[in-house]
Structure 1
């Protein structure tokens, strides 16, 4: 019987067909490697002999873990291609259960970047990019980008929650009721319909603001296309900024010049601004300026309340439990709403959490990812 060496391990191969036996397949497919625990935190300085010895042992453990032979069933992987423009993975061939992953659009199944990366790590997906198979190392750069990016943080949270047994799906904000729709929502819906040919949702059409906003936008459109202005006098009048060039008579009695220029301009009748105010063009400009509708901006004190708005806090994922019978076609309310804090951001106070909780019924799970990629999560129940 012939033998073949696989990474310093002897595997028997049958001479007739060259395939492994069933016992050998099971042994190599479910091979496990238990790395040694790191122990307590090291306190030695960099470059010392104990630190170098610790790094050498860690590299040997990693090399031994990677050299363990593994057997995977290639037919058990789904096939997808990465769409660089839409930043999604289009699934060409499904294998296994995909009811908790991706979303359907026009009869096609698409995976989010974090879902594709997660299935790649599990060995359930073969991702191709311009005809080439993407490795896991390449997928980290292609799908997630930099380590400090928001995508990388979202994937760490998605992977940790999925491995913990939760069903993690992208959070889709619920549609507002006609009573909750504002005039700004109507304006954006009409702009999307005009520019992007997107139909106006029904809950916006039934809003009391919709008819008023639509009529106002039509009037503005007619005003722009017809090149009309509300005040025709302003367009007809020409602004003459030429100052009077007539020579002035010199004063009979010379004025004593002060020693400094500041004192010279402060004397009544000798200021340059006071002299310009006597010109005909200044009075004409002042008359036109009074016709303008001046709107006073908010002061610094007025904008203090706006800085407390939760612009950086948003719900990213929804968590569902497996035993609740989750169905993506008709999902139930989530068990938790997940908020992922931006990098180097402290946990929000109770007032900010309460503002978000007022618009959602599920408890909030606020998660922070540190620089060392450690995840901290706090669950908020606000009655």
Structure 2
């Protein structure tokens, strides 16, 4: 072959020009408006036409070519047995996602799916790259469960700018129980009809305080049952009366006849002296006419059965401007309770029980209800 006839063949390149990169990088697609939302399946021609139009718009939106920087994604593999995603390569900031265990970073199912949706994670399973559609089935499950509801709330709150982490009950530092705490607990139980906390009831000082209060009660009852004319034992009461004669003081002119005729017997207490007067008798007669109902303490006990599983705190919400740190987080701004579809809203007593049993900080409760149509409604509860 003649060297002059040799033609240089240039390989076909697959690189895009800068103009094409910019155009495909910021490619926008406007979805046509569908009008009012239909609530019932009519099966009419207009409804079928709207359905086909929505499907065509979705195909056109998915068929638009896009470019992304592959190096900007983190790499993780899904562990089906532990139901977590192990991060193999990090890219970008992960201070608000995942939890560390034995030097490795793991993502919960809702964190992995959220990062996959926003294009920050490449998830693999059994050596194969998982698409978003496959990730919904793999991470959330094929059957209906609360996972989809939790992820729906997590995604909405994360996109709104909150730092959403898994709820962790705050463990209070142990405080030593004193004798005064036991005495006040007994008084609140007897007078205020409030249950005694379990940590005070288990203290060895509680038995001694309860016995001492019972002895004082029996002593007071014994003094009450004695006749006013019979002096009580001086050793039991601890009082010593002066037996010396005193000169009678001159009565003032403005003193009423009732006060002049009042006789104070030795050895009687102030309560016994007041019970001898006629106003006390009238008051006791009126008081006995009231219908007094004693509250049941077991309904307000904080040591009984735990609250309903549907009222558990799922997430803790933090604000970005509060300096959140995953290693040493501050108290959350909100605690999130997620209600499944058609679930009743919690009452005041149920919310109080949740806060008491889970040792929640002074954070406001955010109760989020998810309807069957996957609409989210949030209600803020604050108990001072």
Query: Shorter chain as normaliser: what TM range?
Result: 0.5 to 0.7
Task: Tell me which residue corresponds to 1:22.
Answer: 18
Counterparts of 1:128 and 1:354 in 2: how far apart (Å)? 43
- In structure 2, relative to structure 1, the CA distance for the partners of 1:308 and 1:341 (3 Å cut) is farther
Q: Which residue of 326, 329, 334 maps to 1:328?
A: 326
Task: Tell me which residue corresponds to 1:253.
Answer: none
- In structure 2, relative to structure 1, the CA distance for the partners of 1:42 and 1:142 (3 Å cut) is closer
Task: Tell me which residue corresponds to 2:145.
Answer: 149
Any stretches of 5+ residues in structure 1 without a counterpart? 1-13, 182-205, 212-300
Contact 2:34 2:50 in 1 (8 A): no
Contact 1:357 1:364 in 2 (8 A): no
Contact 1:336 1:363 in 2 (8 A): yes
Counterparts of 1:367 and 1:62 in 2: how far apart (Å)? 30
Once the two structures are superposed, the pairs formed by residues 219-368 of structure 1 within 5 Å of their partners are 310-312=307-309, 313-358=311-356, 359-360=359-360, 361-368=362-369
Counterparts of 1:138 and 1:70 in 2: how far apart (Å)? 20
How many residues get paired?
257
Q: Which has the larger radius of gyration?
A: 2
What's the CA shift for 1:150? 1.0
Contact 1:357 1:382 in 2 (8 A): no
What's the CA shift for 1:304? 8.0
Task: Tell me which residue corresponds to 1:380.
Answer: 381
Counterparts of 2:109 and 2:40 in 1: how far apart (Å)? 40
Give the aligned CA root-mean-square deviation in angstroms.
3.1
Which fold has the larger relative contact order, with Cα–Cα distance below 8 Å and residues 6 or more apart in sequence? 2
Residue 164 of structure 1 pairs with residue 160 of structure 2: yes
Query: TM-score scaled by structure 2?
Result: 0.61
SS of 1:19's equivalent?
Answer: coil
Counterparts of 2:22 and 2:87 in 1: how far apart (Å)? 29
Q: Which residue of 60, 65, 69 maps to 1:69?
A: 65
Counterparts of 2:334 and 2:40 in 1: how far apart (Å)? 43
What's the CA shift for 1:325? 1.5
Task: Tell me which residue corresponds to 2:371.
Answer: 370
Q: Bigger shift: 153-162 or 353-362? A: 353-362
SS of 1:353's equivalent?
Answer: helix
Contact 1:315 1:337 in 2 (8 A): yes
Query: TM-score scaled by structure 1?
Result: 0.61
